[in-house]
C-alpha cells in the first residue's frame, strides 16, 4: 500500500502526489508523528478528506515535523522531498479553491 494526496480541482481535473509507501511511512514518518503527537498527520495513514479550513492546522504540523526530521533518518532524503512537495501543495490550496482533497 501507499499513501498519497489526491486533489480534484473545480474543473474536475484530478492529480495525485505520492507521499510514501506504507513501509516508509511506518518506519520513517510515524516515529516523528508519534513523538510530536501530530494528530492530523497520523490520519494520513488511515485516510482523510481535507477541507480548506483544515489546511492551516495541517501546515502547522508539517512545520513541526520538518523541524524534527533528522538527517540521520534512513529515509531522510525521500521524506524531506515529499514533505516539501506536500507543503507546497497545501500552501497552494490555501489560496486556490478545490473540489476535493484526500490523503490516504
**pLDDT single digits (tens) 40-62:** 999 999 999 999 999 999 999 99
* Total domain count, the chain: 1
Give pLDDT, residue 73: 86
Tell me how far apart the alpha carbons of residues 104 and 20 are, in angstroms, rounded to a whole number.
10
Reported as a single tens digit per residue, the pLDDT across 81-95 is 999 999 999 999 999
Contact 55, 90 (CB under 8 A): yes
The grid coordinates listed for 92 are: 497552494
Listed in sequence order, the DSSP H helices in the chain are 22-24, 30-36, 39-42, 55-68, 76-95
pTM, entire model? 0.92
Range of the domain at 67: 2-103
Contact 69, 79 (CB under 8 A): yes
Amino acid at each position: 500500500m501507499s499513501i498519497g494526496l489526491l486533489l480534484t480541482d473545480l474543473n474536475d481535473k484530478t492529480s495525485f502526489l505520492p507521499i510514501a509507501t506504507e513501509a516508509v511511512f511506518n518506519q520513517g514518518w510515524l516515529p516523528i508523528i508519534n513523538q510530536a503527537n501530530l494528530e492530523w498527520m497520523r490520519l494520513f495513514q488511515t485516510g482523510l478528506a481535507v477541507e480548506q479550513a483544515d489546511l492551516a492546522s495541517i501546515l502547522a504540523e508539517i512545520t513541526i515535523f520538518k523541524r524534527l526530521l533528522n538527517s540521520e533518518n534512513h529515509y531522510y532524503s525521500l521524506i524531506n522531498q515529499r514533505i516539501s512537495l506536500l507543503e507546497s501543495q497545501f500552501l497552494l490550496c490555501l489560496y486556490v479553491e478545490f473540489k476535493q482533497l484526500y490523503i490516504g
